[in-house]
Amino acid sequence: MSDLIDDAPEGVNAPEYSVSEISGAVKRTVEGAFAHVRVRGELGRVSRPRSGHVYLDLKDDRAVLSGVIWKGVAARLATQPEEGLEVIATGRLTTFPGQSKYQIVIEDIRPAGMGALMAMLEKRKAQLQAEGLFEAARKKPIPYLPEVIGVVTSPSGAVIRDILHRLRDRFPRKVLIWPVAVQGEKCAPEVARAIAGFNALTPGGALPRPDLLIVARGGGSIEDLWGFNEEIVARAAAASEIPLISAVGHETDTTLIDFVADQRAPTPTAAAELAVPVRHELLAWTEAQGARLGQALSAQLRYRGERLRDLSRALPRPETLVEQARQRLDWLGGRLPVALSRGVDRRRLRLSELSGSLRPSGLRQSVAGEARRLEGLGARLGPALGRLVVRRREGFSAVAGRLRTDVLGADVVQKRREVDQLAERLDRVARLQLKDWREALEAQDRLRLTLGYEATLQRGYAVVRGDGDVVTTKAAASKAAALEIQFADGRLSVGGKPAKKAGGKDKPPEQGSLF
C-alpha cells in the first residue's frame, strides 16, 4: 500500500530456531498431539534384528509410516506383525531428531478385521498349495501302532492331559513331549523347531525318535491360534519325515498346519484316538482270529473227512472184487481131491500092469541063460591060455639057441690077464717113485743144516744173546742185564750187569721158544 514503508519481508523478525530447537519443538508437538493414535495400514517390510525389537512399515497406497515394537511388547502380542497384513496399530507417534524422522511406537497391533487376516491366510495358503505341499500323495500313512509318540504342545494345560488320558484308555505308549509356547511371538519358531528337532533324533537312541508326531493346541481366538498359520510351521510340518497329526483349536478352527499335516484331528483327544488303536479291541480281535483259525482248520478236516467217506462209499465193496475169484477157487478146490485120486488110480493101474510082467520064473530063466553063457566062456579060457604059452615058449627057444657060453668064457680069461699086468706095472712104478722122493728129501735136509747157524757152531762159533735178543756189539752186551751164550752143544748163562729190576721182568719173552 505504501512504498514509503519498507516492509521487511514477512517473518524476518521471527525468532530463529536452532535445528535442535526446532526438532525438539516438533517432537513436543508431535508427541503431544499424537500421544495415542490408532493407525490402519498394511504392514510393509518387517524386520526382527537380534535385539528383539521389531521394525516395520505401515503403509497405504500413498504414504509410509515407520513403526517400532519394543521387545517387551512384541512378546505379548497376540498377532505377530507380518508383511502384507492389514492391521490397526495402536501407539504413539514420536520423532527421531537425529535423522529427521518420525515413527509410531506401537503398543498393540491387531488385524484390521477378520477379513484382512483371512485374506492374508488365503494368500499364503494359495502359495503353499501351488508348491504342492497339500497334495494327498505327500501324506504319509499314520502307523497303526506307534511305539513312541512325540507331542509338540504346551507341557502344562488341558491339551497334553487330554491326549495322555485318551492314550492311556486306548493303548498306553511311550510319549515324548516337546514343550513349546502355543501362542505369542515365540509360538511359530518353537513349534517349527520342535517338529524339525523330533525328526533329527535317531530311532532307539537315548532320546528315541518318535514314529508319530502330534502337534496340538487347545481352542482359542484366531489370534491365539495364529502361530499355527505361520509359514515356518507349515513348512516344518510338510518337511517332517515322521507322520504328523495336527490338532489345533476346536473342530471349527482350521489352521495352515492342518493342510500340510498327514492327518488332521479336530481336537487333541481325537488326535490320541487317531494315534493308537484300542488295545482291548485288538486283544478281542486277536482272540477271534485265533478262534476262526481253529474253526477253519476243523472245518477243513471235517470237510475232508466227509469227502473221504463219500469217496469210500463210491468204492466197490472188496467182497465183490473177490467173489468171482473165490467161486472159482471153490470150484477148483472141489475138483482137487477127485483129480488127485483119479491120478493115483491111473498110476496104480500102470504099476500093476508093469508088476504083472515081473515074475520069479522069468527072472530065473534069465539067470540060467546068463550062467550058461558064463560056462561057455570059462570052458574056452583054459585051452586059449595053453595055446598062448606054447607060442611064447617057441619064440624063446629060438632066441636061446643063438646064446653061446664058450665065447663069453674066453673073453673073461683074456680081460683078467690084462688086469693083472696093469696092476704089476702100477706097483713097480709106485715103488720107484717113492724111492726118488725119499732121496730128494734127504738131500734137502742136508742142505738146510749146512745153511743154518747151528752148523757154524760146530766149527767153534757161539751166539750171544742178551735179554733175549741176539747181541752183536759190545755196547749192546754191556747194556744187557744178562747174557746167554749158545754153543753147539748147549747154552750157558753168564752174569752181565745186574738186573735193575726183578728178574721175572727181565726174562726174554722168547725164552719159551728154547724148548
Partner 1 sequence: MTDTPIAEMTFEQAMKELETVVAQLERGDVPLEDSIKLYERGAELKKRCETKLKEAEEKVAAITLDGDGAPTGTKPVEGL
Alpha-carbon dihedral angle through residues 204, 206, 211, 215, given to the nearest 10 degrees: 180
Question: CB-wise, 124 or 139, nearer to partner 1?
Answer: 139
Q: Specify the residue for cell string 488341558.
A: 158
C-beta of residue 491 within 8 angstroms of C-beta of residue 515? no
Question: CB-wise, 51 or 324, nearer to partner 1?
Answer: 51
Retrieve residue 184's grid coordinates. 505369542
Q: What share of the chain is helix, strand, coil (3-state, %, to 5)?
A: 55, 15, 30
Question: CB-wise, 202 or 252, nearer to partner 1?
Answer: 202
C-alpha distances in angstroms, 507 versus 270, 482, 496, 511, 514?
145, 9, 13, 7, 13
Question: CB-wise, 134 or 198, nearer to partner 1?
Answer: 198
Nearest to 104 by CA among 39, 23, 24, 26: 39
Amino acid at 439: E
446 CB neighbour count, 10 Å cutoff:
10
d(CA 100, CA 98): 6
Question: CB-wise, 293 or 449, nearer to partner 1?
Answer: 293
Furthest-apart CA atoms within the chain: distance in Å: 239
Minimum CB separation of residue 92 from partner 1 in Å reads 34
Question: CB-wise, 179 or 220, nearer to partner 1?
Answer: 179
Minimum CB separation of residue 266 from partner 1 in Å reads 21
Question: CB-wise, 43 or 188, nearer to partner 1?
Answer: 188
- Strands 148-153, 212-217: pairing is parallel
Retrieve residue 226's grid coordinates. 495364529
Minimum CB separation of residue 150 from partner 1 in Å reads 9
Minimum CB separation of residue 173 from partner 1 in Å reads 7
CA-only gyration radius of the chain, Å? 81
C-beta of residue 248 within 8 angstroms of C-beta of residue 233? no
Question: CB-wise, 197 or 266, nearer to partner 1?
Answer: 197
Residue 161, sorted as left (phi over 0), alpha (psi -120 to 50) or beta, turns out to be alpha
Q: Specify the residue for cell string 472141489.
A: 334
d(CA 178, CA 150): 7
Question: CB-wise, 173 or 465, nearer to partner 1?
Answer: 173
Give, as one character, the DSSP assignment of residue 276: S
Minimum CB separation of residue 314 from partner 1 in Å reads 20
Close Cβ partners of 256 (under 8 Å, ≥ 6 residues apart)? 121, 124, 125, 128, 228, 229, 230, 231, 233, 234
Minimum CB separation of residue 288 from partner 1 in Å reads 9
Minimum CB separation of residue 72 from partner 1 in Å reads 19
Which residues contribute to the site for partner 1 (CB under 8 A)? 143-145, 155, 160-161, 164, 167-168, 171-179, 190, 193, 197, 201, 206-207, 279, 282-283, 285-286, 289-290, 292-294, 296-297, 299-301, 303-304
Question: CB-wise, 139 or 193, nearer to partner 1?
Answer: 193
Beta bridge partners of residue 450, listed in sequence order = none
Minimum CB separation of residue 228 from partner 1 in Å reads 18
d(CA 175, CA 16): 74
Minimum CB separation of residue 174 from partner 1 in Å reads 5
Question: CB-wise, 197 or 468, nearer to partner 1?
Answer: 197
Minimum CB separation of residue 46 from partner 1 in Å reads 22
